[in-house]
Structures are given as structure tokens and as C-alpha cells.
Structure 1
């Protein structure tokens, strides 16, 4: 139910590129940061250096940018592969940054920041935690030879140190996110395995005895058939009765597997909304016992809860979602249970046309003698979906779900 991965993580941070478009996006993400090289570029364009220094500057700049881009791009596309080539490339970048900043002027000290970022991104923390302070110390040592060194050190040394360790933190978060993603996939796989085992166990318990009895009585009827046709007919009648009962048991079991339950949907909705970054407030009435709520009506409300929260996550852009459950009396003196899903997102579209999900939901509610209402949230911003199903039986004398909750707009606004 979560929104597409491309919308949540367009740069695929912490994940390898899968196609040319994703590689292009990662390339642009790297190139953007080259704007911080405006100082060295401006010095080269001015043309006030000697021919030798200018040749050194252009060639060194091209080598640095090419090596840095190749190193970081290789990491972002293929993810960590720590090896001697990576360490040698980081060492080459550090040496080139030292040479250019020592020879051509303080503007080139910014290269140390890029080296620190490259080390943080491509090297394990056991190495980068020492390399980043060493790069900062080298930057300070070279910067001290220039006039107004304090200004340059404040402009370059602090960003070098902080950017490096900030990227160390980002890499830690990326690794943690990857581990959580893998753990979530493993949990889903184990849950699917458990469900298959439960289904197999239930089918065995339902059919094992019945099929064994059918087999036994079939063999017995076969032996009785030539000499005792009446007894064989009785055995066949027993077989028919057992098989019919087994068919009923299987149908009930399958119906139970397929029928959505409100409590089960609520647990899944909570997890899905939190994963999508949507804060959720749940009315305690949703977790209480619902007297008079038939099986079909509960299934319709569960489908409504699933469809409504799916729309919140995919289309609304909401930050907060509220789930409410109220009992309401209609003009025909019938008692209804109303599920309200309110969000603070973009609100309903100008033309309220039901999509496939809402159309299907209206049909499900109609089969349960209920109805669906959609519109703006009570506070004027956001979207409100209300699903109504009838309640059977007498109204509870106290407790449970009562009346229309304060602040909730009724079925007619």
C-alpha cells in the first residue's frame, strides 16, 4: 500500500541504480555539488596565473573532478565494494588536493572537503574516522602559509570536518535503512510461510479425518456390495453425508480466510501509515467490541478502511490522518455504524469522480445495505470518507460507541 519507491526515494539513496535513467539521476546529484568549486574555476578563468600554473590548474582540476566523479558514481551505482582501488583513489585525490592548494592558492583548499566526503562515502568508518581529521589537519597546515589564514580556515576547515562526518552519519543511516528493508522483507516472507503452514494444518485437520473415513467406508462398501447390498448402500449414504460435511467445513474455512476483519485491517493500516510518514490518530471505539455488527457489514467496513487509507497514502499528501467510529440514528429509525477517515491533505479533487477503488467500495457497502459518502474534511482542508453500515440488535445501554462524536460532521455535512 505504500507509495511508489520512486516517489519516496527518487535518487535511490542507499540502493543501486537499475537502469539508465536512475544512473543519470545519480550523476546529476553528484554534479550539483561541483558548484562549490566556483573558487578554483574562477581563478582559472581569470587568466592571471602563469602559463605553468594555469596548465597545472586545468589538468589538476580535470583529474580531480574526473577521479572524484568516477569514485562516487561507482559507489552510488553499485554500492559498497571496499578494495585497494578505492583506497588508492582516495589517496590520489588527497595528494592532488594538497598539491593544487599548496601551489595555486587558498581557493583550492575547498578540494579537501570533496576528499573528505569521498572518504566518508566510499570507505568503512574504521578508516574514514581517521582520514577526515587528517584531511582537516592538512588543510589547516597548508592554509597557514597564506595571508588572512583565519578567514580561509573558517571557510574551509570547518566544512571539511563537518561535511565528512555528516556523510559518515548519512552512510550509517543508509546501511541501517537497508538492513531494515531486508528485515521487513524477511518478516513478510516468514509471515507468508506461517500463513501457508496454518492453511495446510487447518486443511489437514478439516479433511484428514473425513477423507480417512470416506476411504474406510468405501473399502467396506466394496466388500459388502456382492453379498449385502443394503449394508453397502448404508455405507455409501454415510460417505455422502461425510463428504457433504467436509465440503461445508472447507467452504467455511476458506470464507474465514478471505473475509477481512476490522481489527486485522486496523493493525495493518497503522503500520502502513507510519511507514509512509503519516501520523495517525485512532478512535478507541475502533478497537472495542461492536455489538450488532454482522459479518458482512464488518467486512464492508474493513474494505472501506483499507481503501480510504490507501488513498491517503497515495494521493492526498497528508501528514495526519484520523480514524473514527460512531453510531448514528437515521430518519428511518435505523441504527448505523459510521467509519470516518479524515486527513489534512490536498482535499477532494474539483471533479469528484470515483476511481475504481471507490466504485468497488460503494458496491461492497451497497451489498451490506450501507452507503459511502466523500467530501471535504470538517475543518475545511483535507479529505473525508465516511462508510455507513446498518447495525442489528438493540442499542447498548451504555459504553461502547455512542452517538455522533463531537467535531465529526454527520452524514449530511
Structure 2
């Protein structure tokens, strides 16, 4: 019999510390039954694709779920950010980005948005939304944001909040081949509106023309037919056609988009026919961005200190004086004090209930033990009585057997008859 092979896990195990360091998100849709809409649900689905792979893509919300239900599960699931989409009674869509477990929370108004299916309609060569592109997080590009200390506090907080939503890039550990998506956030300096775009990165070789590539791949790609050369007098007319290049019109490559990739790695195996081309160790490639969606335009409304509650740190429309701010801080301190007192009172009540339950359980056990002891005593006394009765019955039976043994139905006495016979025999 063949011995069964034991599989050994050779991949690198990720420690718990590394797992907790990676920011994870949870994209939610929380709104009442009246404000439910299919477009909002599709927007949530598309935004989960943007936040992959460190997000819950198969999360299903129920109508009865509240924000507290997800906050309770954020800790065990190591979720660091909550992105909550909701819809008001007036039909306005809003987005809340909260840092768990202590805040802050950014409130945005979704001015307009386009779904992924809408973006695919007007893109000339749409990119597939499935595959290896979602195995790594997207590259975050911030344009128009300020991170200087001299800037306004809300500007610095906004920048750091977006940066902490994705894992930081390491020059030593990050592989360029793994970066296949880009999320661009552009802030308009005049209006303050934020445009969100999601792109896929494509790299194509520019050393060869489209005609040459097509002829080289005719043998392998069966679905693509052989190019029609009936209108050409010579093969050179097809190969040197300026309109048959790799990029035309909107997809034309600019000089700034071309980069040189070093291929001097010793581990790379090069075929004999490609050795001449790779003799210099570099290859020109064109980088192109293909939009995959969604598109969202956001407007910052306010910033709260806690998770969707607490003191308002910034508001885009309302301005408070110093005296009003101090009064609000006092009210907020009172609320925190009352909340702490209620929490302590609740803990005391829970403690009393648990103690009462334990004492009741203890009393029940003692009562059950006492009842079982009484039952044992009663059963023991009954057994003694039954044993005595059995002994009396056995004695009566023995006496009755003796009477039957000596009384055989004859009138002669056994001992007298025996003696007379023995005496007569002796005579």
C-alpha cells in the first residue's frame, strides 16, 4: 500500500501583529425601508471592489441592522474603518467615513456618482473587473490635498484619514508587478469638492507595432483571423502603415507615458530569438490608465470627534463663536459624565443580577441535595421493612415444610413402630 503524503505548508505565515497593522474596512448601506434603492446598493457593491482585498466583500446587511451591530463586530474582525452609505428622506446620498473604535468621523455629501456599468459604456476598451488586479490594494494618489502643519486642522485630518485607509507602501518590500490599480482623489481648491476615480494600470510594449504583434500572434490566437492583405501590393504597406500602430486617436501614447524597464535580472530566462533584442537589458513600455469605476463626487460637510457621535470639530456651513463653543463643550462634558454614570450603574446592576443568579442556583442545588437525601433515607427504611417481612415469610415457610415432613398421613408414630419392629426381630 502506498504511503499517504503529508502536505507541508511552505508559504510564509502572517503573524497576528501584521494582520492588525493592515487597515481593514467595512462598506455598509444603512437606511430605512423607504429610502432603499437599487442604485445605492450597486454603488456599495462597486465601492467594495475598490477597497479590495482588505474589506468584507460578501457582507449582507439586514433591514433591522443598526450601526451599533457593526461596531460590536468591528473589533473581532480587526476592522479599522467604516464606510457607511445612507440616503435621507429628501433623496440625498451621504457617506460617513469613521475610524474605529474612537473616531473621528468624516461626513460627506455625495453630489453625484456613476456606477461601474455606466463607466464601461463610454470607455473605448473597458477593462475586466475580475482577476488578479484585486489581489493587492490600489495605489492612492492625492491631488490638491495639503499635509503641512501650517494648513487648517480639517485639511490635515482629511489627508491623514484617506492615507490611513490603505496600507503604506514600502520601497523594499512592494513589488511593482503587484500594483495594478490606482485610486485618484482630486480636490478642487475653489469649491473644496473631491473627485474620486478608480483606474486599472496597463503596460504595453512600444518596441513593436500593432501589425507585427498581430502577425506574431496569429498562430496562438485562433479566434483572431489572419489580416486581409488583398488591398496591399506589398507586405511593407501593411507593416509600415501609420494608422495600424499600437495606439491611435484617444489611446495614442505620449512620450511622457513611456518608461524603460530594466531586465538585467539573472533569474529571467530569455529565448534565443529574443536574446538580441534584450542585449541592452532594457525594454520600453507604455503605461496606460483604463477607468473601471465608480466615479464619485464628494463634498465635506462636518467632522465629529467620535464614531458618528460626539463633539463637532468642523462644520462647512455653521460657524460658532468662542462663547458658544465653550457652552457646547460644557454640555458635551455633562453628557459624557452622565454616560459614565449610566455605564457604572449598569455594571452594578449586571453584577447584582449575576450574584442573584448564582445564589439562586446554589440554593437550588442545596434543595435538590436535601430532597435527594430524604429520598435516600425513605428508600432505606422501606428496604429494611421489606427485608424484615422477607425474613418472617422465610421462617414461616421453613416451619410449614417441617410440619409436612413429619406429618405423612399415617396414624402410627414413627419412633414407636421402629422400636417394636427392631425388638421383635431381635427376639
What TM-score comes out, normalization by structure 1 length? 0.25
Tell which has more relative contact order, 1 or 2 (C-alpha 8 A, sep 6+): 2
The structure in which a higher percent of residues are helix is 1
The structure in which a higher percent of residues are strand is 2
What TM-score comes out, normalization by structure 2 length? 0.24
